[in-house]
Structure 1
Amino acid sequence: MESERRGPPDKSAKRFSIFGPNDDSRVPGEALVELKPEAARRVTVSIPDASMLEGTGVKQLGLPDLDEALQDIHVRSISHLYLPSPPTLAGHTFVAEVGEESHFRIQYDPATSIDEALATLTKKGNRDVLSAEPNHWRQGMTAGSRHGSHHPRQWGLPKIDCPTAWQRTIGDANVVVAVLDTGVDLNHPDLRPHLVAGKNCVAFDVRPTPPDGYVLLGNYTGASGPPEDEVGHGTHVAGTISCERTSMDGVAGVTWRCGLMPVRVLARAYEQSTREVVPLGTGADTARGIRWAVNNGAKIVNMSLGDYDVNPSERSSIEYAVQRNVVVVAAVGNDGRSDPTYPAALPGVIAVAATEPQSQLASFSNFGDHVSVCAPGVKIRSTYWGGGSYTELSGTSTASPHVTGVAALLLSLNLGLTASDVTQIILGTATPLRKQPADPVPNPTFGRGLVNAEAALQRALGL
């Protein structure tokens, strides 16, 4: 169990993340509980998933010892963590995914200490509880504000050799990329042709306790409504992955044809003192979003989000994705630190750092042994929320979708490639970069180097 000695975020140090490695990023009033399989079979209460969270009032599971523990921590609601996956047909019987019925999201009075709540659940419910973990905040990985003027061209695309790669493929609509983010502007004219059915997975408590100094705005309870962007972050990420230029002022994506699946896992948070808007969510919603995307046909998952603490549910969902042959890509963070961030540092994830036009590591980009590759991440022009607009953003959030786009080009060229094939091709064809001439490759600054679209496609073709 994690110690509660860590305090609220220290804002005296200059960084772009709400939380640093030594801050307590746990969500007050929330626990993620996995029951032992035998206990899950004894649950006698009908439990909704989080899309039905608001107003359900379910506060027990029908397991006496655990129900007593829930009462002690002043439970507010209980929901299944994961959305139901499509059942498989075994003979003439429909069979649910093994284990999904064992995972629950418990929301309790946030005045109750997190450590006290977790200890109560595991001690009193020890007959039934396999694990009780905190939920953690997750933030979009954009560094600073949008830029007012645009770069004369989309420098990132030629930097990773997209124009040459496009002579081989510009993408295939059958390759669907899940954008786990703030949602997407569903009416943006350049993105609308590429959109497939998505999902809103944001499910805060109806009385949330956001990080100190922030308030949540807009649609943030009960996973209700469409995956509509209320920040702009997800719209920008989506346009970098797949977009065809339709006007002189428009932009192109790394692919021009691949499908975009908006999975909303980050809401709109507002810092009152600075008037800053940030994308904010939790690891639980990210975990649910991954599974939903995999179950609904995504071939690649992009996560331009993260934090410095591991969420076990995210680890489990990424394992779920990898086992089902889905490529997972994530941003490493924007604090200029070597500390690993999650989900980027989890096994099976392509972890992406950000570079400047001169192929130097961006000043804000995190680094470290967990970095897989790097990609352009400074003043990246892409689609933006509201009125079919465009803007420039910087961050590892904008680097990650470049790598995701290259993965989509590879699958467009050959849908028979496995997720492991795609990962190894991207890593094996990156242009080596070094901070010092004698540095090895891979190295903690750039990983394997700068992603290269054309080299990756050549490798896939055996050229």
Structure 2
Amino acid sequence: MSASHLSMPWAPTARAYCSPRRLIFTLALGEGVEKIPARSAVRAFGLDPASETGHGAVDRVLRIPGENIAIARLHDAAVGQDSFDMVEHASGLSRTYVATFSDIVRLDETVDALRQLGVVTAASMDYFVTAADAGMTPATPSPDDLWPWERVGADAARALEAGDPAVTVAVLDTGAAMRHAELVGRVGAGFDAVDFAQSELGSGMELVGDFGERDTDPDEGRNPHGTACLAIIGGQGRNMPAGLTRTNSLMPVRVLASAAKPGRREERVVGLGALSDIDYAIKRSVDLGAKVLNCSFGTAESDLLPDDPKPHEATTSYALARGTVMVAASGNSGKTERYYPAAADDVIAVGSHGREGAASPFSTKGDHVDLSAPGERVLCPSIDGYHRVTGTSFAAPFVAGAAALIVARARKMARPMTSAKVRDLLVASCDPWSGTAPEGSGQGTLNIPRALSMLDQQMALSTTLNHPDPQSADARSASHGT
């Protein structure tokens, strides 16, 4: 689960690879260009992208690699085509653009030049990221497969809280095998945000199946990564344990295309996505009403250039400002390092533990990791059958499911929950580690019924403090000013 190492026509000094034809830049507040159409409108309605921004210095820099440039705004407005609100303006999303070049060019120098301009607040190459699992093996379901759900207290949690269809969980991943028995009747409308071509990958990876066009169909026929995450959160429970919530709505969002090494497409398929597509999907999911986002992918900070912005920095800030709870996998490197979006402020970063409650050796560590959840040999649906999966990618949806139940329960009491509040509750209620966990593994392991009970206690205390019994001595004393 890291920035992808592909065989590209060229490579900058960063360890990660990126599109050789596309870069992203953000203009300063008040300098956005309304005449530049959104990329979604270019794709859906055939609008012509712009060839220049109208900012002379910016346009001169963009022409250095080549004259044939297509410029489009990355994001749509939450309401209306161009009616961005203050949150969108403040986060910079209303003035973020994608410049696509007709030929393969060197973009690192162009990005450096853009960063020197006062009218540009951020610029970066469009990196690729993978969501590779730590292991997938075909499986026949057995009673031994109950342990992850028993470990987090799934049955007791469902008895306390059934969930709420008004609270939607968006799973940003490889899409979903919509026909699988574990998902039929459980997943709602989603969308496909993948928007890049084979020519942007060089010779290192080969795209497989559906790619290159945004549409409303997140169906996936090759990579079960997203299908597994969806089933953990809210699957039907046909031949595996039921998902943590049977009521909350599920939104599958395809941000990762299926890719394989040339000639090995039958052996191993991984999820592969561009940061710009993921950013588009984060904002669009929030604008469509998702209250919880599960992100089982990440980019290592060490893979980037020193002056690169942190991946998903603006869209994560936007989601949190809208009150969305963000959950992300910490990574599978086994090192102490920072992956994004897991390392972003107020994103709930999830590590992995095994059956006995010990931290998984592959789980990425750091002081930003909040807690751990089952991530070793977890039974999940594949495209057609079942398999056991390993990785923090599959620990994260246990926490996302818990977050969905917490938000649903609080909503019934008319109490809004932020990502920070949900994180603090999950950390305060988690079980202590079985034995000594490596430093940076989080505060403990997920305990959902305890989190829900603690939420009840907090809400009851808040109600008492805000509405004291008028007959109580304290209330009478307060009324007389004593």
State the TM-score, normalizing by the size of structure 1.
Answer: 0.85
- The yes-or-no answer on 1:227 pairing with 2:208 is no
Give the counterpart of 2:338 among 337, 340, 348.
Answer: 340
1:165-180 aligned at under 5 Å gives the runs 165-180=157-172
Cross-structure match for 2:472 = none
Which deviates the most, 175-184 or 105-114? 105-114
Local SS of the residue matching 1:107? strand
Q: 1:269 aligns with which of 249, 256, 259?
A: 259
Alpha-carbon distance between aligned partners in 2 of 1:108 and 1:137, rounded to the nearest angstrom: 17
1:143 match? 134
Aligned to 2:244: 254
Q: Which residue of 2 is the match for residue 29 of structure 1?
A: 21
- DSSP 3-state at the match of 1:289: helix
Q: In the alignment, which of 353, 356, 379 is matched to residue 355 of structure 1? A: 353
Give the CA deviation at 1:382. 2.0
Match of 1:380 in 2: 378
Shift of 1:190: 3.1
How big is the alpha-carbon RMSD for the aligned residues of Structure 1 and Structure 2? 2.9
Paired position in structure 2 for 1:430? 430
Q: Deviations over 1:294-316 (max 9, x none)?
A: 11111100000112137546111
Question: Deviation at 1:162?
Answer: 1.4
Alignment CA distance shift 1:27-1:308 (3 Å):
farther
Query: 1:254 offset after TM fit, Å?
Result: 1.3
CA shift in 2, pair 1:394/1:102, >3 Å: same
Rg larger for: 2
In the alignment, which of 395, 399, 404 is matched to residue 399 of structure 1?
A: 395
1:131 aligns to what SS in structure 2?
Answer: strand
Q: Return closer, same or farther for 1:50/1:105 CA change in 2, 3 Å cut-off.
A: farther
Aligned counterpart in structure 2 of residue 81 of structure 1, from 62, 74, 79:
74
1:195 alignment counterpart: 187
Distance 2:163 2:132 in 1: 26
Taking the aligned partners of 2:84 and 2:337, their CA distance within structure 1 comes to 41
Q: 1:411 aligns with which of 401, 407, 411?
A: 407
When normalised by structure 2's length, the TM-score is: 0.82
Rounded Cα–Cα distance in structure 1 between residues aligned with 2:73 and 2:455: 41
1:314 to 312, 315, 325: 312
Distance 1:148 1:104, change over 3 A: same
**How far did 1:207 drift?**
3.0
Is structure 2 residue 448 aligned with structure 1 residue 453? Answer: yes
Name the aligned partner's letter for residue 398 of structure 2.
Answer: H
Given that residues 38 and 74 in structure 2 are in contact (C-alpha distance below 8 angstroms), is that contact kept between their aligned partners in structure 1? no
1:48–1:9 Cα change, 3 Å: closer
- Amino acid corresponding to residue 223 of structure 1 in structure 2: R
Are 2:84 and 2:94, in contact at CA under 8 Å, matched by a contact in 1? no
Relative to structure 1, the CA distance from residue 110 to residue 366 in structure 2 (aligned partners, 3 Å threshold; closer, same or farther) is farther
Alignment correspondent of 1:114: 107
* Equivalent position SS for 1:213: coil
Would the alpha carbon gap of residues 427 and 238 (structure 1) be closer, same or farther in structure 2, given more than 3 Å must change?
A: same
Report the CA distance between 1:145 and its aligned residue.
Answer: 2.9
Conservation of the 8 A alpha-carbon contact between 2:136 and 2:388: no
| More helix, by proportion | 2
Percent of aligned pairs with the same amino acid: 26
What is the distance in 1 between the residues matched to 2:58 and 2:148?
53
Match of 1:63 in 2: 55
Comparing 104-113 with 233-242, which one deviates more in the overlay? 104-113
Q: Conserved in 2, the CA contact under 8 Å of 1:178 and 1:302?
A: yes
Matching residue within 104, 112, 134 for 2:97: 104
Using the alignment, how far apart are the partners of 2:177 and 2:263 within structure 1? 27
AA aligned opposite 1:414: A
Change in Cα spacing, 1:29 to 1:153, as seen in structure 2 (3 Å) is: same
- Residue number in structure 2 paired with 1:153: 145
1-structure distance, mates of 2:4, 2:145: 41
Equivalent in 31, 34, 37 of residue 47 of structure 1: 37
Instruction: Report how far residue 321 of structure 1 moved.
Output: 1.0
Change (3 A) 1:378 1:22: farther
Secondary structure, in 3 states, of the residue corresponding to 2:214?
coil
C-alpha separation in 2, matches of 1:67 and 1:158? 58
**Structure 2 portions without partners, runs of 5+:** 459-482
Please state how far the C-alpha of 1:29 moved relative to its aligned partner. 2.5
Number of corresponding residues: 431
